């Protein structure tokens, strides 16, 4: 195991990786890991105002500080929007990344009901521009964020990549499913190795303020009610950020390949004759929402005031990930307990906000 980790670090040092959404939650953690490994990172982000830009700028400042240290990789950050195809092309021409990880997207299921155009602009137009740049510059491996939301009306648990995902419940989910289809087309037409990752409820330090853990922690500390949708009858496969980053780093050097066992007569949705793969990334341990809330209460040493509300449009009641395909592909299985993960988040929150 130690030898494989050493080899992984040695390979990372020789790479220049372009990360879109580098000031976002997952993008920041990936950039941090790669910089500490000596890898050069070209970070792209629009720093939009979907949530507090100051949190994004704080993440960037930490990345710049790491980049300035001896033996760490170099960070180059460019503030652009992926809808600006010319600016994006200039980044690829100037810095010549060998691998690209697309973590930029308009996130949020409920916000898609308020501002649908933002999802088409960022998640479709921006995604298409990025694929065009990857094609033009013969990128070695394109990794992109999909979502567990694509499973939509699928009620067969745990969700498997080989199951159908054709009935999304939100525009956000529909754009993510569209990303998978468009990326497969580019893999087929241009031989671009592409890997789509269906993330399951990622949480941890530096997390997004619109996610449940952040909202619940803030409300409990402020003595305000937390909003518990579907009257608490929700289950999620909560996945700790470090497990996501470990998976991403292993995937960087494991490009998608054509599946020699792919049968066009009975096509598997997650593999192909083209170099395209789709994987779930989850903790393989779906937890009821009240268990998650109880863990937050224990970590804070405070009780939550609960406001029970009906199901929100676009939400999925239960998620659970079958990650056997990912484990077989990279030799790693996400495993962090919610108790550990929540404690890490609460410690970060108290420190960052001086609570």
The residues assigned a catalytic role are 172
- Answer whether 326's CB lies under 8 Å from 251's CB: no
Query: Within 13 A of 238's CA, how many CA atoms are on the CB side?
Result: 23
């Amino acid at each position: 195991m130690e030898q494989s980790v050493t080899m992984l670090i040695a390979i990372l040092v020789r790479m220049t990786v372009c990360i879109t959404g580098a000031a976002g939650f997952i993008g920041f953690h990936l950039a941090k890991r790669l910089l500490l490994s000596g890898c050069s990172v070209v970070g792209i982000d629009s720093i939009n105002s979907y949530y507090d830009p100051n949190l994004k700028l704080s993440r960037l400042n930490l990345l710049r500080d790491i980049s300035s240290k001896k033996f760490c990789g170099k960070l180059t950050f460019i503030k652009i929007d992926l809808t600006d195809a010319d600016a994006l092309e200039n980044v690829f021409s100037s810095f010549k990344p060998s691998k690209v990880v697309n973590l930029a997207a308009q996130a949020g299921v409920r916000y898609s009901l308020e501002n649908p155009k933002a999802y088409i602009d960022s998640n479709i137009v921006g995604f298409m521009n990025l694929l065009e740049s990857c094609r033009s510059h013969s990128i070695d491996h394109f990794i992109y964020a999909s979502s567990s939301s694509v499973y939509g009306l699928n009620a067969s648990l745990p969700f498997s990549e080989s199951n159908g995902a054709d009935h999304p419940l939100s525009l956000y989910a529909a754009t993510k499913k569209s990303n998978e289809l468009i990326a497969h087309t580019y893999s087929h037409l241009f031989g671009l190795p592409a890997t789509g990752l269906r993330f399951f409820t990622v949480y941890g330090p530096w997390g997004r303020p619109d996610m449940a853990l952040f909202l619940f922690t803030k409300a409990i500390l402020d003595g305000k009610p937390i909003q518990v949708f579907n009257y608490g009858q929700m289950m999620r496969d909560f996945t700790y950020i470090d497990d996501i980053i470990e998976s991403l780093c292993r995937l960087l050097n494991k490009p998608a390949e054509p599946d020699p066992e792919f049968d066009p007569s009975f096509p598997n949705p997650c593999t192909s004759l083209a170099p395209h793969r789709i994987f779930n990334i989850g903790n393989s341990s779906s937890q009821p929402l009240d268990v998650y809330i109880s863990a937050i209460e224990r970590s804070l040493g405070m009780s939550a005031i609960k406001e029970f509300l009906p199901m929100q449009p676009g939400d999925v009641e239960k998620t659970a990930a079958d990650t056997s395909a990912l484990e077989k592909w990279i030799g790693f299985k996400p495993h962090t307990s919610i108790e550990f993960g929540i404690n890490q988040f609460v410690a970060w929150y108290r420190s960052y906000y001086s609570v």
